[in-house]
Structure 1
């Protein structure tokens, strides 16, 4: 394949693709294949699986899917990548369910006061708040599918792992939703976030700057703490590990350089230069980020006394 992403032709119009699933039988076909061994079935077994006796009707709807969502290979109908993605979107739960989790104890400690945090979930937003000082440490969308087949403790772990992954990937320029290009820029929290209603009160609204992430291909956008860029730098992660801070063994809400606005200093805005300070048992690691939110320099300062 040559050329830019903007030049890649579409085999099917996106709106037409969604309209293909206006008939429930087509979704039933995808789910029948999804449930089958190796995601494939012969025609007769698939027709039986969906419970459609009219072969003509079944054939008509199957043909609408064949070629893009389903492929016929050696007498078997096989669920294709696009078909898997349709199933994935439905199984995420965002279209048809929105569970609520009242505040429960969350693992780890509040980096501000050392108390135990709590976790709650409502309207697709997961929130970790300190039970003592009331600091909202982390808040981010989490698909209802994250609770399926897991204990609540395991779901909280999954929220942490998934949020780290999504923030790191997107702030590195790759959209975790569609794999498109993500534009990464800085924003001053108060006026930039006032236009959006994703949060009642943004958890990082008192940070002097946040990262504004916007996909050039899909509807994804987000605002995340600047300190998350440290987690995507092997140099920084290695330096922190050598100084007693294992970022792989701590929850996002236990990392002050992610949650604490006082660890962030905006040195300039044109071009942007931001200093993020991470405290370790042996001193402070000062990381300078450039206008592209990439690590420019790392300096160390020993502990006083």
Structure 2
């Protein structure tokens, strides 16, 4: 394949790349999808021509060869030992397995074991349009709504679906904070917003947007601290496994009640994380980098009353 070189090369500079419309037309054929599926299920790869044809169960060798050639170079690679996937071919099969192309299930709402960070009522989960959402049954506060492929519902109980969703949301935001779009791997830009729009019930929030595909993620500022080592250690010291605890059970991850904007130019944002008799205070900049970290004794009820 002919490719351009240099730091500013883009997909539009590729001389041999297939136009998106042509690429989709290539795989819009039952036989070709069957070939990709047979290649996926093969115990070992590369797979020979005869083995692939046998798995697809096509008697006409010439006709099978025609369809295989349509896939070759862009979705399948031909080697001396047989046929192997190219990355595009793997993505097609994974998208089919995930149900992205052909499944449109709905689920819920169903009750979770968690309570609302705003009012304490029961939280419910529901699934529609390939999005899973967690929301309050009383005040309707949104605790997060994110893409979740239909395949993630297969062979899982509701509890297991919520566990998988929790880990997926953490992964999505971790990639976004690192500047990588979880959808297309393009460059993700991060911005802190402080306004009266009250989106997601937040006046202070983090906006992630991909410069390439325009995919967006929004969250409370605290969500960016879920994998921060000192924050994880602080919770471990209090007997809490932060790595598995649902993010919607952590008020500082879904609310800005514990968030204070110290300044906007430059950004200085303080997140207070209370646990038992301690508070971990974390100060972040506009890039969500940690500037300061303090462990403090939590004020007693009497002190709170005096301050009030």
Q: TM-score, normalised by structure 2?
A: 0.85
Report the CA distance between 1:53 and its aligned residue: 3.0
Report the CA distance between 1:179 and its aligned residue: 2.5
Q: Which has the larger radius of gyration?
A: 2
Deviates more, 1:109-118 or 1:223-232: 109-118
Report the CA distance between 1:22 and its aligned residue: 3.1
Q: Which residue of 2 aligns with 1:89?
A: 95
The match for 2:294 among 289, 294, 299 is 299
Contact 2:192-2:204 within 8 A present in 1 as well: yes
Residues in 1 aligned to 2:126 and 2:10: alpha-carbon distance in whole angstroms: 44
Q: Which residue of 1 aligns with 2:276?
A: 281
Q: Which residue of 1 aligns with 2:262?
A: 267
Q: Where do 1:1-305 residues align within 5 Å?
A: 3-4=6-7, 6=9, 10=14, 11-15=16-20, 16-188=22-194, 191=197, 204=200, 206-305=201-300
Residues in 2 aligned to 1:208 and 1:173: alpha-carbon distance in whole angstroms: 23
Contact 1:137-1:253 within 8 A present in 2 as well: yes
- By relative contact order (CA 8 Å, sep 6+), the higher-ranking structure is 1
Report the CA distance between 1:243 and its aligned residue: 4.2
Deviates more, 1:282-291 or 1:263-272: 263-272
Equivalenced residue count is 294
Contact 1:168-1:228 within 8 A present in 2 as well: no
Ranges in structure 1 where 5+ consecutive residues have no aligned partner: 194-201
Ranges in structure 2 where 5+ consecutive residues have no aligned partner: 301-308
CA deviations over 1:183-230 (Å, ceiling 9, x no partner): 111224655x9xxxxxxxx5x2x2122211122333422222211111
Residues in 2 aligned to 1:101 and 1:258: alpha-carbon distance in whole angstroms: 25
Q: TM-score, normalised by structure 1?
A: 0.85
RMSD between aligned alpha carbons? 2.5
Report the CA distance between 1:122 and its aligned residue: 1.5
